Chains A and B, each alone.
Chain A
């Protein structure tokens, strides 16, 4: 069953009461002179005092850092809304257009920080909080685009979400907040059940996780030593946790992001980097990156995790060694899992060195740190796909069922006969793009692709020697081009005509198919020497193009053209048969060759006057042009790349009735008219 998880919707609620203007107790040095020229006495006297950050600043920094991680790793479907107790509504919506770190930064830029006020809350401020909590419940009740799509597709949706509330137990009692919220959910669900049951944009709330972060200035003790989980009501569960402010809060939020989104930390260790000041020496650095937890599954299963696990500030980190960078991911075959990454300390120098190295297109193999006995195991690889950095896990095992199994035998001769190039063309025209951000998953239909493939491969001999037309080199481009659903460009159109010209010339030469024209030499050439070869070719071409005729107007045009050619050929043959003594036939043919086609053309000219194909029945090798050729060439130029009148192709030798379908079927009129009008 498809469903959205609880981390689909997150709301950050910032307490905007005066208490949050309080200094967090940690100072932040920003005067650069103290760093670069510390020896200078005069400057030290002029030194500017370090910054004092307020509790408010700490919460904003932490929440935005959390958002940065989420947006880096999940380009969609993990949505965040911001809200302060001062505002009556959330600052943004669930709409994808109002998501993204940039958006959130801009939003917070419009919010004034709280002003210092006495620690005691007035009555009105309690009310303000209730209003804010109600607003955040409303926000959870609102369905996101994804949820709406699921509902539309009759997928049962559990409406869940998370509210992260930054406040302080110094300021407020936390129990009443939970009680209020539990009741409010009940009330809201009642209202939704009554009033908005069929509204696709609002759903009753199934589950809310309220995460209350009790902030403590840096010099005070935590109010809770451990996270406390309270199930307040069937719909509400509260996670109470206490965190020191300052930079600790951001670290805490990074940890929470790991929990909420199933992330894990990998430390890429021993990255050699040149020093800025000392270009000759290189020092080793470590970079911590965040990614989906499942990338460590293989290490856990194989029991190798214990070789890599290090605890950094209470966070379990898997250390993997940087090994020689490779230039190409293709050397790794298919990996077993992958995830986007983001560095934890994104702006640090080692991090940006690593990310810019990867973004430049190179990839890095990570190794499991070796114990004395173990051999070298490459477990992961970092690489970039379209400006996003990914980590892949590699399969490593001692043995494989593939070992020593005979590989697929390659009989070179047989291989040559396979229409590999054509298949590669087919693969390339049906290549999937790299992973893509998409807003509407239910649009995907694998069935559609199958249908398309069914259609394209309706006439698809595997070997060149299977059919005559597939084995004729000059026809190759025509066949390949017609297999694609895309419409023809002018150049392709001309090329295809040239291919058909070959067949038409073949007709006149009677025996044109010498071995050099064949892709796969066949022992038994008789089939290629038969007199009715040309007829066979036209028939094969017709059955080839039949399934593809609906792809575009030009496909249709070629199909009709070929069909006409075949019909005419059959007709002219039968007229030959009637008028000529069979014994004379061969002599006649010789004559035709000797006399440079004119008799044959004259014959056909009588038969079908202005038949389309005449335009192409010219000898490309001949330099002198007779009158007929001159005329037909002019016609070609005139009609270049324009399909012939549809009616003429169907009724070659008579007047084509217009709007033939009009009387037959009223309903289809518009459709069939449309087709004709196009031509």
Chain B
């Protein structure tokens, strides 16, 4: 997956250290780590993107996401040292860059290289950043509860969405604190890891955070107990809610780092996980790019779910019919590297690819016990048909109502013996959308007028439009009763009377008789009954019996 590295470029990184007689600095070790990492990444996949950000008091972009690995390595030298490490600015720079480059559906690996757990003496300390994040969490929690949501710690919330919602909400909160601009949790799928180049001595502050209900604020409570040390970086990684951990390196020997630490670190993070793509007994081994999980853990942090090792096709759907559920991330499907040579096994993959492509269909997949996705053939949402295409896999936000809704009718439901058979599965009566059939909405006078106008337009062509005239008339009559506007009856009858006087020429005898009949009916109390439609006048003899619909 695309890799974004934050390098701590504060002065403390430049402090000379003596490692087994060799004079070096943590900054140099960090640069070395980066170079080696870039080498490893590029040797595994030459189409990977890498970017570098150097952070001191300010964040400085060294390289945007690029596949030019030499350029990336060279850029390591550009960064200028500054006085302190401002993690917040670094993370916001990364966040901005990722969203600008990849949007919000690409899983990105973020790596922080620093030497500090907590630079608590400084203004932009990690501790201050952490308490800010904690405070925001409290505000968000209260916000959600106040609008009737249950705050679920395990449920991910895209951060900037919430910020926006809270800022735009018309609720009048009694908060004395406003949500400060925050970057974590990130608004795109990610994995956040930290490599901490430690000194031998760690001076972490002891204490814990307590939520102060009155002020919606987290307070730091100092503790004398030495065991409850807070590793702020760890807490920040936790708050991000996605996957990731803090790697502490206290042996700063070059050889150790290059030969022992780095390969292990690299493998644990970047080893792709082989999925089995299966459709019944048809199987292919595949990789996802960027991979949502790695070999070490099957937990897809951003989704908050453990993924199963097989991606199972549970149905196919025509793309024009596809009402897409909310997508979390998108991945390219490539045949698994190891088994690529064994041509036989990758054939199902090819079969699926050609079939989906030629039919313009998508395959609905199950990727864990309760999360779903879809595979289609295309170019990541872009519309250019000439472009090269890939098999794309989209993972949907697990939501009870969307995918399962789509799949629910595949098999005719088994007849279950229900506890109360009388209350069987009654469906809502066939409901046409209000916009498809012209429903009555009168709170704006102009809509009322157009409904009245429709009646009079049909009245003018009474000879051929009589059924429609009565239909419209009764529609308005019913609506007036529903809304309790009885005044309209009188008003309409007066309008008909005036119409007969003013434009008598446009009505023949038959039409005039009908209008006269309508005027009479409108003044009769019986037609103020919802069910009693006004029937067309059928001549003096058989008034009561022959009615048209």
Contacts of B448 in A (CB 8 A): 28, 30, 51
CB-defined interface of B406-434 with A at 8 Å, one 1/0 digit per residue?
11111101101001100101111101111
CB-defined interface of A53-70 with B at 8 Å, one 1/0 digit per residue?
110111011101100100
Contact of B443 with A439 in the complex, beta carbons under 8 Å: no
- Using C-beta atoms within 8 Å of the partner chain, give the interface range for chain A: 35 or more
Known: A109-B482, A427-B361, A438-B408. A399 touches B49 (CB 8 A): yes
CA distance A226 to B325 in the complex (A): 36
Contacts of A427 in B (CB 8 A): 316, 355-356, 359, 361, 363
Known: A51-B487, A300-B164, A398-B100. A415 touches B441 (CB 8 A): no
Contact of A385 with B323 in the complex, beta carbons under 8 Å: yes
Contacts of A345 in B (CB 8 A): 441, 444
Contacts of B319 in A (CB 8 A): 329-330, 333-334
Give the shortest distance, in Å, between A10 (CB) and chain B (any CB). 12
Contact of A395 with B484 in the complex, beta carbons under 8 Å: no
B471 on the interface (CB 8 Å rule)?
no
Known: A48-B495, A51-B485, A330-B320. A439 touches B426 (CB 8 A): yes
A-B pairs with the 4 shortest C-beta distances?
A457-B280, A397-B103, A113-B484, A395-B381
CA distance A109 to B323 in the complex (A): 36
CA distance A423 to B353 in the complex (A): 11
B314 on the interface (CB 8 Å rule)?
yes
Contact of A420 with B381 in the complex, beta carbons under 8 Å: no
Give the shortest distance, in Å, between A622 (CB) and chain B (any CB). 41
Known: A337-B327, A355-B435. A434 touches B321 (CB 8 A): yes
Contact of A449 with B315 in the complex, beta carbons under 8 Å: yes
Contacts of A246 in B (CB 8 A): 443
Contacts of A53 in B (CB 8 A): 483, 485
A570 on the interface (CB 8 Å rule)?
no
Q: List 17 A-B contacts (CB under 8 A).
A: A28-B442, A60-B483, A97-B428, A101-B431, A109-B481, A110-B530, A111-B484, A297-B161, A300-B164, A301-B187, A333-B319, A333-B382, A352-B435, A394-B381, A402-B379, A406-B388, A439-B425
B226 on the interface (CB 8 Å rule)?
no
Contact of A334 with B435 in the complex, beta carbons under 8 Å: no
A573 on the interface (CB 8 Å rule)?
no
Contact of B347 with A463 in the complex, beta carbons under 8 Å: yes
B436 on the interface (CB 8 Å rule)?
yes
B141 on the interface (CB 8 Å rule)?
no
A232 on the interface (CB 8 Å rule)?
no
Interface residues of B, dominant DSSP: mixed
For window 22-61 of chain B, which residues contact chain A by CB distance below 8 Å?
47, 49
Contact of B433 with A395 in the complex, beta carbons under 8 Å: no
Contact of B452 with A30 in the complex, beta carbons under 8 Å: yes
For window 321-370 of chain A, which residues contact chain B by CB distance below 8 Å?
328-338, 342-343, 345-348, 351-352, 355, 359
Query: Which of these binds chain B: A72-80, A163-171, A576-584?
Result: A72-80
Known: A113-B484, A418-B351. A334 touches B360 (CB 8 A): no
B225 on the interface (CB 8 Å rule)?
no
Query: Which of these binds chain A: B230-238, B249-257, B389-397, B535-543?
Result: B389-397
Select A105's contact among B170, B330, B354, B482, beta carbons within 8 Å: B482
B305 on the interface (CB 8 Å rule)?
no
Q: Which A residue sits closest to B501, measured CB to CB?
A: A46
Contact of B426 with A97 in the complex, beta carbons under 8 Å: yes
CA distance A159 to B335 in the complex (A): 48
Contacts of A64 in B (CB 8 A): 482
Known: A51-B491, A109-B482, A418-B350. A336 touches B324 (CB 8 A): yes
Contacts of A397 in B (CB 8 A): 101-103, 105-106
Contact of A457 with B438 in the complex, beta carbons under 8 Å: no
Contact of B160 with A300 in the complex, beta carbons under 8 Å: yes
Known: A51-B491, A431-B317. A108 touches B482 (CB 8 A): yes
Q: Which B residue sits closest to A341, measured CB to CB?
A: B435
B289 on the interface (CB 8 Å rule)?
yes
Give the shortest distance, in Å, between A202 (CB) and chain B (any CB). 12
Q: Which A residue sits closest to B284, measured CB to CB?
A: A462
Q: Which B residue sits closest to A425, measured CB to CB?
A: B355
CA distance A455 to B281 in the complex (A): 8
Q: Which B residue sits closest to A1, measured CB to CB?
A: B152
CA distance A612 to B131 in the complex (A): 84
B521 on the interface (CB 8 Å rule)?
no
Give the shortest distance, in Å, between A105 (CB) and chain B (any CB). 5
A52 on the interface (CB 8 Å rule)?
yes
A57-B484, A420-B351 known, 18 other contacts, Cβ within 8 Å: A32-B449, A51-B448, A52-B487, A53-B483, A64-B482, A101-B439, A228-B172, A246-B443, A301-B161, A333-B319, A378-B383, A402-B379, A408-B353, A418-B351, A432-B364, A434-B317, A443-B416, A452-B280
A594 on the interface (CB 8 Å rule)?
no
CA distance A423 to B352 in the complex (A): 8
A587 on the interface (CB 8 Å rule)?
no
**B312, B385, B414: most-surrounded residue (chain A CB, <10 A):** B312
Give the shortest distance, in Å, between A211 (CB) and chain B (any CB). 11
Contacts of B498 in A (CB 8 A): 33, 43, 46, 48
**A54, A389, A427, A455: most-surrounded residue (chain B CB, <10 A):** A427
Contact of A446 with B366 in the complex, beta carbons under 8 Å: yes
CA distance A28 to B441 in the complex (A): 13
Contacts of A109 in B (CB 8 A): 478, 481-482, 530
Contact of B390 with A405 in the complex, beta carbons under 8 Å: yes
CB-defined interface of A440-452 with B at 8 Å, one 1/0 digit per residue?
1101111011101
CA distance A374 to B101 in the complex (A): 14
Contacts of B351 in A (CB 8 A): 418-420, 423, 462
Known: A53-B485, A247-B444, A401-B102. A32 touches B453 (CB 8 A): yes
Contact of A432 with B280 in the complex, beta carbons under 8 Å: no
Q: Which B residue sits closest to A315, measured CB to CB?
A: B170
Q: Which A residue sits closest to B335, measured CB to CB?
A: A408
**B101, B434, B494: most-surrounded residue (chain A CB, <10 A):** B434
